[in-house]
Amino acid sequence: MKILQQTYEYLHPVTLAFFDTTIEKNYHQSYRETYLMANRLCIFLGIGLYATFGIIDFFHSEETNTLYQTIRYGITIPISVILFFFSLQTSIATKNHTLFTLGLLFFSTSILVINLLSHQTTFSTYTMGLVILFFFGQNFLKISFFRSTLILLIVLLVYEIYTIFFKQLPIEVFVTTSFFLFVSFLLSTFASYFFELIDRKNYWSSLQVQKTNEELKSLQKLMEQKVAERTNTLERVVKELQLAKAKAEESNIIKSTFLSTISHEIRTPLTSILGFTQLITKAKSYDEKTQVYASTIEKSIAELLDIMSNILTLSEIHNDRLEKSTTTVNFKALKKSILGISEEVLARRKKILSSKLLVMNL
């Protein structure tokens, strides 16, 4: 029941037409193309069966037989053949559904007229033709459920009304005949209804699948675009990083060259100063104060040379060119040297500060 409720959300429960007129139009086009050959074959077989049943007409009087033969072979079959050949024309392919509906209408009208004109003794025999008509029109000929049901319902009602008012049938014959006609009509109608309902549900499902596939394709294209954009972005970032790396390496080389050159240029005068300072400290001709100053200068220059060596070492570390080595460090001597330099610097700053204060007081 729930499935039917969901189905009736997009289908009319009586006519089985799609609420969306565009979908309904496309469905009819698909329906015509799918059942075109089957409907042509049904019309062809219907003409053959209708012509064959003309044998029953010979059981009537010559006058009645002539009338039936005229209706059957002079009117209905020629018109049906014309409709059949029209259905073969590709120029009117869009009208095939209407042609097949007209074919059912002519067959139904002919059978109804023959039934109404038949004698009471052969009335029930022709009535069986209506049973065949119901099943043929509803289940074999693939036209719209609503159209075929409407045509056959009119035929059935006209038949019943005419029989009640113009045919003097025994009550048991009338009831039995009417019962079988209504049952055959209802069975064929229900069968036609559910066949078309299933066909329309399948068509709707195919539309949903097609819609889902289109959405998936759109998502796939969107994802491909995003992946392409991300790839381009990554490639651009990689190129930028490679360029930055190249520039950094170039800067390191320039820096190392600069440090090496500057270190060499600074080392030369510092070495000279260090040499002369050592001469002063070793000479006996200078007073003790001068030798102390010279000793301090010697230590400072030695520290400066060590700093230059450390700068070169850091440069080699950055360029991965440093060869590992193990050396012994005398922390006490290093501490003493640092403190000595610091004390001298502080003493000088005190002297400078005292001089400034003296000048300010003056």
Summarised one tens digit per residue, pLDDT across range 265-310 is 676 777 777 776 777 766 666 676 776 777 777 777 777 777 777 7
Instruction: Give 50-108 pLDDT, tens digit per residue.
Output: 888 777 767 665 666 778 788 888 888 888 888 888 877 776 656 777 778 888 888 88
Record the pTM.
0.59
Region 213-225: what's the mean pLDDT? 91
Q: Rounded CA gap, 76 and 70, in Å?
A: 9
Q: Where are the domains of the chain?
A: 2-169, 258-350
- Looking at the DSSP bridge assignments, the partners of residue 11 are 18
132's tokens: 């065949």
Region 243-252: what's the mean pLDDT? 82
* pLDDT score recorded for residue 186: 93
**pLDDT exceeds 80 at position 260:** no
Per-position DSSP letters for 83-135, written without gaps between them = HHHHHT-GGGGGGHHHHHHHHHHHHHHHHHHHHHHS-TTTHHHHHHHHHHHHH
Instruction: Give 93-119 pLDDT, tens digit per residue.
Output: 567 777 788 888 888 888 888 877 776
Instruction: Give 166-215 pLDDT, tens digit per residue.
Output: 877 788 888 888 898 899 999 999 998 988 888 889 989 999 999 999 99
More confident residue, 254 or 221: 221
Whether 101 contacts 151, CB under 8 Å: yes
Count Cβ atoms below 10 Å from residue 252 Cβ, excluding itself: 14
Confidence band, pLDDT 50/70/90 cuts, at residue 227: very high
Q: Rounded CA gap, 229 and 223, in Å?
A: 10
Share of the chain above pLDDT 70, in %: 78
**pLDDT exceeds 60 at position 22:** yes
Angle subtended at Cα 38 by Cα 33 and Cα 42, rounded to the nearest 5 degrees: 135
44's tokens: 């062809």
**Angle 77-87/21-52 helices, nearest 10 degrees?**
140
Mean pLDDT of the chain: 79
Q: Rounded CA gap, 135 and 139, in Å?
A: 6
- Looking at the DSSP bridge assignments, the partners of residue 18 are 11
CA neighbor of 148 nearest in space, from 10, 252, 51, 42: 42
Whether 284 contacts 217, CB under 8 Å: no
| Number of residues in the chain | 362
Q: Rounded CA gap, 147 and 39, in Å?
A: 15
